[in-house]
Each structure stands twice: as C-alpha cells, then as structure tokens.
Amino acid sequence: MIPIVLAAVAAYLLGSIPFGYLAGLSRGIDIRTAGSGNIGATNVFRVLGRKLGIATLLLDVFKGVAAVAVIPMSVWYALSLDGAPPLTVEMVCAVGVLAGHALPLFLNFRGGKGVATGLGIIIGVAPWTALLGIGVWLILFVSTRYVSVGSIGAALTAIAAVWFLDNTREPHALVPTIVSVLSVFVIIKHHSNIGRLIQGTENRFRFGSKHAGRPSAKK
C-alpha cells in the first residue's frame, strides 16, 4: 500500500504543476485573469501567442505520460522493490495526475480541463486509442474551429475505442475502465462549453489571435 500511496501523491503533485499559469507569469500576466481565464494551452495560445501555447500543450501532455510511465518505475526503484510495478499503480497514477491538473494544490484547486494531460495518460497506457483520438480531434477541430468540439469528440472516441484497441493487459478491463472514467471527467469539465455550443456563443479558434489581458467569453 505504501508504494501505491507514494506513487499517487507524486502523480498528483506532478499534475498540480500549472504550466499555463507559469507561462503567463513569464510575461507578467496572470493567465487566470486574461482571455477565458483557463490555464490550459488554448487560452495560453490565444493570450500569449503560439510559442508559449505549444509549450504549455507539450508540457501538459508530458505530465500525463510521465505519471504513468516514469513515476511507477521510479517509486519501485527508490523502494528497491522486485519486479515491475503492477498495472494498478499506473492507473492510480493516471487518476492522480489528472486530479492534480484539474484540482492543483498550487492554485487553490482551480485548474484546467485535462485534455492535454488526459492525452498524455492515454499515450502512456493506450497508445492506439490515443492515435485514433488525435485523429478525431484534428478532423473535428479543422472542420469546426472549435477546440471544445474536438476535445469532446476525442474523449467520446476514447471511451468507445479503448475497449477494442487497448484491453490486452491484465486485468483486461482495468485500462479501459480508467480511461473511460477519466474521459467522462474531461467531458464533464467542458459543461460550460457544451452550454455555449448549444446557445451558439462558443468562441471559434483563430490562429494568430492574441488578446493579452483582454477579458472575453469563457473558453
């Protein structure tokens, strides 16, 4: 139990690192008070520009990958435990890092929506599902210019696809179950976006737009 707890805490703390917020501070801006107010890569891209937006995206993805691929092995090595960590530890870390991103300790538990970090998790534990989800995201985003539509569509795809593409590791249902639960969580975090899509007030993404410090409708 101790190794599992240590891995979960480490994953949560990693997830709590607010890269989008730190990107804003590097430019003297509290990203929570600019643009949509979200600390995710989309708002960073809109407010601070392409370079910091892409950097935030990649770092948030890295959090998810590292949580499931690095932290379990690191804990096992640090405690000199035999063999490889069980799949259960990876799944605990998956939950921990997404919880940290969405409810970060360092920002009074007000974080992002978990799309990039969730992608990193799926890359680490369900790579074929991740590949299909990225494809769906790209198709929906390019055709609609709504980041939220792409994200929700990718999450729905993951819920269905993971049961067929990445369910070979024992116990067989564990990865699909956790990926499905985390994907539902990401969709729920988009509840305000869904409301705006229904009302026709959701913001479309525009490349090259930059509105630093300007308040706008929530993304």
Number of domains in the chain: 1
CB neighbours of 195 closer than 8 A, spacing ≥ 6?
none
55 inside domain: yes
Q: Is residue 213 part of a domain?
A: no
Do the domain assignments include residue 214?
no
Q: What pLDDT was estimated at residue 214? A: 45
Is residue 9 in a domain?
yes
Q: How far is CA 78 from CA 21, 53, 82, 132, 169, in A?
A: 31, 34, 11, 35, 25
Q: What is the pLDDT of residue 219?
A: 39
Q: What is the distance of C-alpha 65 from the center of its chain?
A: 10
d(CA 80, CA 82): 7
CB 39 within 8 A of CB 53: no
pTM of the complete model beyond 0.85: yes
Cα–Cα–Cα angle for 139, 18, 182, rounded to 5 degrees:
50
**Full DSSP string of 74-122:** HHHHHTT-SSPPPHHHHHHHHHHHHHHHHS-GGGTT-----HHHHHHHH
Q: 118, 133, 132, 127: which is closest to 61 by C-alpha?
A: 118
Residue 207 included in any domain: no
Question: In Å, how far are 56, 117, 130, 135, 219 from 35, measured between CA atoms?
Answer: 16, 21, 29, 27, 8
Residue 194 domain boundaries: 2-199
What's the pLDDT at 218? 43
Given a contact cutoff of 8 angstroms between Cβ atoms, the answer to whether 158 and 179 are in contact is: yes
From first to last of its 219 residues, what are the pLDDT tens digits of the chain? 899 999 999 999 999 999 999 999 999 999 999 988 999 999 999 999 999 999 999 999 999 999 999 999 999 999 989 888 999 999 999 999 999 999 999 999 999 999 999 999 999 999 999 999 999 999 999 999 999 999 999 999 999 999 999 988 888 899 999 999 999 999 999 999 999 999 999 989 887 655 544 444 443
Asked if the structure places residue 205 within a domain, the reply is no
Whether residue 209 lies inside any domain: the answer is no
Kindly state whether residue 168 falls inside one of the protein's structural domains: yes
